[in-house]
């Protein structure tokens, strides 16, 4: 920057100095030339006076006198009469034969004036002085005396003057160089200050202060630049903050977000998009969507959107058979008239899809379960109305069936209400500290008579060291009622049903052996890498009954699911008991697992944490 400013300033100074030196030299040269002309006139004027005094009479030849005069003067001489007649001693033939009367200095002399001209001489081959003096006789101009004088005769100290001018010029140029350097350095500092101000204002750091030193245009430019840089810094900070806020919102959205350019290349994506399509975390920006997601339905959706430039929505399925259902929406991003960007939103509707299917299944199953006893009751009532009521034996049999179906209908309605209340009132559970032994003992006593009537042995045990835990006593009792009821119903005479309780402690080292799956997305164990320990109360309800096929175990806790529909109805089952058990355990943030083998019996075990807070 110094070099640029310095050379420009020095160049301006140099041109000015050289121009001034040239002008000064020219003025000095002209003055010196005029001075020399005056000196030449003064030198040759006595000769002219002498020639005038000895002027030959008219008609005589003045040439001898001119030669003598020329030898005395050391110059060529000529005498010109008013009529133009001339006598000359010029050694140059061209100058001797010229029209003397037309020469300006001779014309001036014939008018009675002394004159001198400085022009090129053909004989001397350089510029020379041409001097003319009027020659008078009786105060009348009788002619003009003309000399051609070599300037060397009057060359004085011109060389010294030229040297002085050259020395002055050199000194001025040196001073100009130093001045240019210091001015350039000063300008550089001021320009750099403004530049640093602008860079500071446009960057993350606060802009530096621009001082007003000279009060000139640079200071005014600096002040204006400071104001602009300050505004730019504030605007950039706001834009950067807004961009980070938008990025954070997009990144933490549960729905997938994808921004595509006109060529279908990815400009922006979030983590949810990667998770939905099972992609690893990598740089996708600039990658064509067709190379990233190979889903024909999604690519067809984008192709339709690009052809119509309208918002297009479509449900797409992932996996065969479909394991995940997504709702994709492609909309144009209207930033400007020439923008062809596409905003693709991906919503995971798998859960909604499952809930919808569950709702449809629930309505169908509930309708079926309600219709069966109602149909039986209605049929037997019609039969009795048609005359069977007059047959006592037949009437008693029909009334017994109607009573059983009415009881089944009541149990079904009670279970539906219980399940609905549990799902709707999870936050209304009353969790209080309680002991395991009174609870399991009370449940066993409740079913002691039913077990005896079935010919089944019912035992219960609580291992020593079982600590108090937090639970809703009534809801947990309902769990035992359903589990013991099922165990006794499906255990033949001579079999055994056992209810047992123990403490279970799990830490980071034993977590691998903890085989309870989380229910409804509730984690049972901490997900930290440090040391931790969590204590549970583990419950077992074991029977030696018929057992359950392995393929049916995953569906046992679905609403209205039965392994054997006919036998379940015969024993008064509604198909909702285990679903109620599962939802109660979910509310307690516990886990449940069913293990069974056909012909050997079934074990239902579940855990409830001593504290509902995960460490």
Residues 6+ apart with CB under 8 A from 495: 455, 456, 457, 543, 544, 545, 601
57-66, 193-202, 491-500: segment of lowest average pLDDT? 193-202
pLDDT above 90 for 497 = yes
CATH of the domain at 358: 1.10.287.130
Are 446 and 528 members of one domain?
A: yes
Are 265 and 388 members of one domain?
A: no
- Report how far apart the first and last C-alpha atoms of the chain are (Å, whole number): 65
Assigned domain for 246 exists: no
Secondary structure letter of residue 431 according to DSSP? -
* CA nearest to 608, candidates 523, 539, 552, 547: 539
Are 284 and 361 members of one domain?
A: no
* CA nearest to 489, candidates 555, 541, 414: 541
Task: Tell me what pLDDT residue 94 has.
Answer: 44
Contacts 24+ apart (CB under 8 A), 368-377: 368/560, 369/412, 369/560, 369/574, 369/575, 370/409, 370/412, 372/569, 373/405, 373/406, 373/408, 373/409, 373/412, 374/405, 374/409, 376/401, 376/402, 376/405, 377/402, 377/405, 377/406, 377/409
Tokens 């009174």 correspond to 438
Assigned domain for 413 exists: yes
Are 597 and 459 members of one domain?
A: yes
Share of the chain above pLDDT 70, in %: 77
Are 61 and 23 members of one domain?
A: no
Sign, Cα dihedral of 540, 545, 550, 551: negative
pLDDT tens per residue, range 77-93: 888 878 767 776 665 44
Mean pLDDT of 468-473: 89
Task: Tell me what pLDDT residue 235 has.
Answer: 82
pLDDT tens per residue, range 324-382: 888 888 888 776 555 678 888 888 888 787 777 766 666 666 666 666 677 777 777 87
Are residues 312 and 298 in contact, defined by beta-carbon separation less than 8 angstroms?
no
| Cα separation values, 49 from 46, 63, 77, 150, 170, Å | 5, 17, 14, 21, 48
Rounded Cα distance between 486 and 172, Å, is: 117
133 DSSP β-pair partners:
145
Assigned domain for 274 exists: yes
Are 504 and 358 members of one domain?
A: no
Are residues 582 and 594 in contact, defined by beta-carbon separation less than 8 angstroms?
no
Are residues 564 and 549 in contact, defined by beta-carbon separation less than 8 angstroms?
no
H helices within 268-349, ranges in order?
271-276, 289-292, 296-308
Tell me which of 106, 124, 150 is where a domain ends.
Answer: 150
Assigned domain for 615 exists: no
Sign, Cα dihedral of 152, 153, 154, 159: positive
Secondary structure letter of residue 208 according to DSSP? P
Task: Tell me what pLDDT residue 425 has.
Answer: 63
Rounded Cα distance between 482 and 503, Å, is: 22
- Domain count for the chain, please give it: 5
Are residues 543 and 487 in contact, defined by beta-carbon separation less than 8 angstroms?
yes
Rounded Cα distance between 606 and 502, Å, is: 11
Are 35 and 81 members of one domain?
A: no
pLDDT above 80 for 148 = yes
Are residues 376 and 355 in contact, defined by beta-carbon separation less than 8 angstroms?
no
Task: Tell me what pLDDT residue 204 has.
Answer: 47
Q: Which of the pair, 286 or 446, is modelled with greater confidence?
A: 446
* DSSP string for 363-421: HHHHHHHHHHHHHHHHHHHHHHHTTGGGSHHHHHHHHHHHHHHHHHHHHHHHHHHHHHH
* CA nearest to 149, candidates 38, 40, 34: 40
Give backbone dihedrals phi and psi of 213, rounded to 5 degrees, phi first.
-95, -50
CATH of the domain at 332: 3.30.450.20
Share of the chain above pLDDT 90, in %: 8
pLDDT tens per residue, range 273-327: 888 887 876 667 778 888 888 888 888 888 888 888 888 888 888 876 667 888 8
Which helix (H) or strand (E) element contains residue 8?
Answer: helix 2-53
Assigned domain for 248 exists: no
* Token pair for 439: 């609870």
Assigned domain for 529 exists: yes
pLDDT tens per residue, range 596-615: 988 889 999 999 898 766 65
Assigned domain for 293 exists: yes
Assigned domain for 247 exists: no
Are 570 and 476 members of one domain?
A: yes
- Per the structure, the complete domain to which residue 267 belongs is given by 253-348
385-389, 535-539, 540-544: segment of lowest average pLDDT? 385-389
Are 398 and 499 members of one domain?
A: no
Are 336 and 454 members of one domain?
A: no
pLDDT tens per residue, range 196-216: 666 654 444 444 455 555 556
Tell me which of 348, 383, 402 is where a domain ends.
Answer: 348
Mean pLDDT of 155-165: 61
pLDDT above 90 for 456 = yes
Task: Tell me what pLDDT residue 93 has.
Answer: 45
214-228, 249-263, 331-345, 553-567: segment of lowest average pLDDT? 214-228
* Arithmetic mean of pLDDT over the chain: 77
Are 49 and 61 members of one domain?
A: no
140-154, 216-230, 290-304: segment of lowest average pLDDT? 216-230
Secondary structure letter of residue 205 according to DSSP? S
Tokens 């008219």 correspond to 58
* Token pair for 596: 């069974």
Task: Tell me what pLDDT residue 92 has.
Answer: 47
Tell me which of 239, 274, 308 is where a domain ends.
Answer: 239
Are 286 and 324 members of one domain?
A: yes
Task: Tell me what pLDDT residue 554 has.
Answer: 84
Task: Tell me what pLDDT residue 459 has.
Answer: 93
Query: Residue 433 burial by CB count (10 A; 0-12/13-18/19+): exposed, middle or buried?
Result: exposed
Rounded Cα distance between 268 and 254, Å, is: 15
Mean pLDDT of 538-564: 84
Q: Which of the pair, 54 or 335, is modelled with greater confidence?
A: 54
């Amino acid at each position: 920057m110094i070099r640029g400013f310095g050379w420009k300033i020095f160049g301006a100074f140099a041109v000015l100095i050289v121009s001034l030196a040239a002008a000064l030299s020219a003025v000095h040269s002209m003055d010196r030339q005029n001075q020399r002309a005056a000196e030449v006139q003064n030198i040759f004027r006595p000769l002219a006076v002498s020639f005038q005094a000895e002027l030959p009479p008219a008609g005589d030849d003045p040439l001898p006198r001119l030669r003598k005069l020329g030898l005395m003067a050391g110059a060529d001489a000529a005498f010109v009469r008013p009529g133009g007649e001339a006598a000359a001693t010029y050694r140059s033939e061209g100058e001797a034969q010229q029209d003397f009367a037309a020469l300006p200095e001779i014309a001036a002399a014939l008018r009675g004036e002394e004159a001198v001209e400085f022009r090129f001489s053909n004989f001397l081959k350089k510029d020379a002085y041409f001097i003319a003096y009027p020659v008078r006789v009786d105060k009348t101009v009788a002619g003009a005396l003309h000399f051609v004088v070599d300037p060397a005769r009057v060359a004085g100290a011109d060389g010294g003057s030229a040297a002085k001018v050259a020395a002055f010029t050199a000194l001025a140029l040196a001073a100009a160089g130093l001045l240019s350097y210091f001015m350039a350095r000063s300008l550089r500092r001021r320009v750099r200050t403004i530049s640093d101000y602008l860079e500071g204002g446009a960057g993350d750091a606060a802009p530096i202060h621009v001082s007003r030193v000279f009060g000139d245009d640079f200071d005014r430019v600096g002040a204006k630049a400071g104001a602009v840089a300050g505004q730019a810094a504030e605007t950039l900070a706001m834009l950067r903050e807004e961009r980070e806020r938008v990025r954070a919102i997009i990144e933490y959205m549960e729905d997938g977000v994808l921004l595509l350019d006109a060529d279908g290349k990815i400009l922006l994506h979030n983590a949810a998009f990667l998770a939905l399509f099972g992609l690893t975390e990598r740089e996708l920006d600039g990658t064509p969507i067709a190379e990233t997601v190979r889903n024909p339905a999604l690519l067809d959706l984008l192709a339709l959107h690009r052809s119509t430039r309208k918002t297009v929505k479509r449900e797409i399925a992932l996996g065969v058979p479909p394991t995940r259902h997504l709702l994709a929406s492609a909309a144009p991003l209207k930033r400007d008239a020439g923008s062809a960007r596409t905003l693709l939103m991906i919503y995971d509707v798998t859960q909604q899809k499952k809930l919808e299917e569950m709702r449809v299944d629930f309505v169908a199953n509930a309708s079926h379960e309600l219709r069966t006893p109602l149909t039986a009751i209605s049929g037997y009532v019609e039969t009795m109305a048609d005359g069977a009521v007059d047959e006592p034996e037949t009437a008693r049999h029909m009334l017994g069936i109607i009573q059983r179906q009415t009881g089944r209908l009541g149990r079904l309605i009670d279970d539906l209400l219980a399940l609905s209340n549990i799902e709707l009132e999870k936050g209304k559970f009353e969790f209080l500290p309680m002991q395991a032994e009174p609870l399991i003992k009370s449940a066993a006593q409740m079913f002691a008579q039913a077990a005896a009537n079935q010919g089944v042995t019912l035992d219960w045990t609580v291992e020593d060291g079982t600590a108090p835990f937090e639970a809703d006593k009534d809801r947990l009792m309902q769990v035992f009622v359903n589990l013991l009821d099922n165990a006794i119903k499906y255990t033949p005479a001579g079999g055994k049903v056992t209810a047992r309780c123990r403490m279970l402690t799990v830490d980071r080292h034993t977590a691998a052996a903890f085989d309870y799956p989380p229910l409804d997305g509730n984690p049972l164990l901490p997900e930290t890498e440090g040391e931790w320990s969590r204590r549970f109360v583990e419950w077992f309800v074991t029977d030696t009954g018929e057992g359950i096929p392995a393929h049916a175990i995953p569906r046992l806790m679905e609403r209205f699911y039965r392994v054997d529909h006919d036998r379940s109805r015969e024993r008064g089952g509604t198909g909702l008991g285990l679903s109620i058990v599962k939802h109660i355990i979910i509310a307690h943030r516990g886990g449940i697992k069913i293990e069974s083998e056909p012909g050997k019996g079934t074990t239902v075990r579940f855990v409830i944490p001593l504290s509902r807070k995960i460490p």
